[in-house]
């Protein structure tokens, strides 16, 4: 029997509804989902930070953390423990309410944006009919948290970092949205499960010719910029702004910003994997070959996380290869290159979608 998470979720749901009344069952399910999401967050924080440090080290001909645990694998656990026991310091003359609220805004938006992500067949928190629009809408709120942190810190570096990151996220949202739109047009739905189902006979990156390839590249660039990562990390450019919007944060509040950065990377990469690389769909060549049967036995959740971590690796690869852009270069790249290319590409994709030239 093939491993299926849908069977587990269905049986849990059935048992809860049979035992309690629907409202109680719904509440219990919500609690289970919350616990799972928080567990996933902790897992992502630990895994992605050590992955980033190891990838960075190998790309720079170094070894990276190698003291705590086997090959340094428990380094992030130690770092997390350190951050938990550190003092959450609030400087003088800051707007205390907003200063303490900002990390939670960033964190909660990251949590909410996770709702429509399809981890496996039928393993999705909320299959809303506007799934992909929901994710783009929610991620646009996280910039508010950054602006809030920058303003309330009462520090010129924080304010500059926040303004840069605001300008950057607002402009790169356009090209991210337009490249997502290409896939939405080809699949004809905003619902994420429909988009994944449309890729059952092949992922869009293979089926959609050159326009999808271009929009994939642009999506990755825009996603890197939207998560404020190098080479687009003007918001926290260490060499000029100390740490940008989170200069004044320490202890667990800093850890929340740090965790939210990595969770946001995971979310944008998961969206990229779902839209362009087929989500939890296994890799198929042709129909009915032995290769396809073997691929079918790999569970969907493995496919999903594999593709997502591949994209995360690509984004880390960017970070440790390219130098930081200047702010004018960054805005030039968006408004003079990515956006015009995106618009032309959207037109091409429309022609393909209407004429039905995709496979």
Partner 1 sequence: MIYELLKTSLALTAHQIIFYLIAATILVTGLLAVTSPKIFRSAIFLLFSLLGIAGLYFWMEMEFVAAVQISVYVGGIVVLIIFSIFLTEHAGKEARKAPPVRTIAASLAALFGIILGFLIIGQYPFAVSSEAFDNSVSRIGEAMLNYNEGGFSLPFEVVSILLLAAMVGCIVVAMRPGVLSKTEKTKEEK
Partner 2 sequence: MFIVDYIKEVFGAIKSLGTGMRRTFWYFVHPKEIITEQYPENKENGQLILAERFRGEVVMPHDENNEHACTGCTACELACPNGTIKIVTKFDITPEGKKKKAIDQFVYRLEMCTMCNLCVEACPSDAIIMTNDFEHSVYDRNELTKILNKPGSKIRDGIE
Q: Is position 324 an interface residue for partner 2 (rule: CB under 8 A)?
A: no
Contacts of 229 (CB under 8 A, 6+ apart): 261, 265, 315, 318, 319
Among 47, 55, 68, 197, binds partner 2 (CB under 8 A): 55
Q: How far is the CB of 181 from partner 2 (least distance, A)?
A: 21
Angle between helices 156-187 and 339-355 (to 10 degrees): 20
Distance CA 60, CA 67 (A): 18
Torsions phi, psi of 35, nearest 5? -60, -40
Considering CB distances under 5 to 8 angstroms, the limit depending on partner class, which of partner 1, partner 2, none binds residue 322?
partner 2
- Note whether 99 and 90 are within 8 A (CB): yes
Q: Mask of contacts with partner 2, 334-353, x by CB under 8 A? A: ---x---x------------
Distance CA 235, CA 24 (A): 44
Q: How many residues bind partner 2 (CB under 8 A)?
A: 14
Q: Is position 210 an interface residue for partner 2 (rule: CB under 8 A)?
A: no
Distance CA 135, CA 279 (A): 15
By beta-carbon proximity to partner 1, the closer residue of 22 and 356 is 22
Considering CB distances under 5 to 8 angstroms, the limit depending on partner class, which of partner 1, partner 2, none binds residue 31?
none
Considering CB distances under 5 to 8 angstroms, the limit depending on partner class, which of partner 2, partner 1, none binds residue 183?
none
By beta-carbon proximity to partner 2, the closer residue of 49 and 110 is 49
Applying CB under 8 A, the residues found at the interface with partner 1 are: 21, 23-24, 95, 97-98, 101, 128-130, 133-134, 136-138, 140-141, 143-144, 147-148, 151-152, 154, 159, 162-163, 166-167, 170, 173, 190
Closest by CA position to 195, among listed 206, 208, 184: 184
Cα dihedral sign, 6-192-302-110:
negative
Q: How far is the CB of 298 from partner 2 (least distance, A)?
A: 24
Site for partner 2 in 58-117 (CB under 8 A): 58-63
């Amino acid at each position: 029997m093939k491993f299926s998470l849908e069977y587990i979720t269905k049986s849990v749901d059935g048992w809860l509804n049979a035992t309690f009344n629907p409202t109680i069952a719904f509440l219990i399910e919500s609690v289970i989902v919350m616990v799972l999401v928080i567990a996933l967050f902790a897992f992502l924080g630990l895994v992605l930070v050590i992955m980033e440090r190891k990838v960075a080290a190998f790309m720079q001909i170094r070894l990276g953390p190698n003291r705590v645990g086997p090959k340094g694998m428990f380094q992030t656990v130690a770092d997390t423990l350190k951050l938990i026991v550190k003092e959450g310091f609030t400087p003088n003359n800051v707007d205390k309410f907003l200063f303490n609220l900002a990390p939670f805004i960033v964190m909660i938006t990251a949590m909410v944006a996770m709702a429509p992500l399809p981890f496996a067949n039928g393993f999705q928190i909320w299959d809303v009919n506007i799934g992909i629009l929901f994710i783009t809408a929610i991620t646009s709120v996280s910039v508010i948290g950054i602006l809030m942190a920058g303003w309330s810190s009462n520090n010129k570096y924080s304010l500059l970092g926040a303004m840069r990151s605001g300008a950057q996220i607002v402009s790169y949202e356009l090209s991210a949205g337009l490249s997502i739109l290409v896939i939405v047009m080809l699949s004809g739905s905003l619902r994420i499960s429909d988009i994944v189902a449309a890729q059952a006979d092949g992922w869009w990156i293979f089926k959609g010719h050159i326009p999808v390839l271009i929009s994939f590249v642009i999506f990755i660039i825009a996603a890197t910029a939207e998560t404020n990562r190098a080479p687009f990390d003007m918001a926290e450019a260490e060499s000029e702004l100390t740490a940008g919007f989170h200069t004044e944060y320490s202890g667990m509040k800093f850890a929340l910003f740090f965790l939210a950065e990595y969770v946001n990377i995971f979310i944008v990469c998961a969206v990229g994997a779902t839209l362009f690389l087929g989500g939890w769909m296994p890799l198929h060549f042709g129909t009915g070959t032995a290769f396809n049967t073997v691929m079918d036995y790999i569970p969907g959740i493995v496919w999903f996380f594999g593709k997502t971590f591949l994209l995360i690796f690509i984004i880390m690869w960017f970070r440790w290869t390219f130098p930081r852009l200047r702010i004018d270069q960054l805005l030039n790249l968006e408004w003079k290159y990515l956006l015009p290319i995106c618009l032309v590409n959207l037109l091409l994709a429309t022609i393909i979608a209407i004429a039905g030239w995709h496979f």
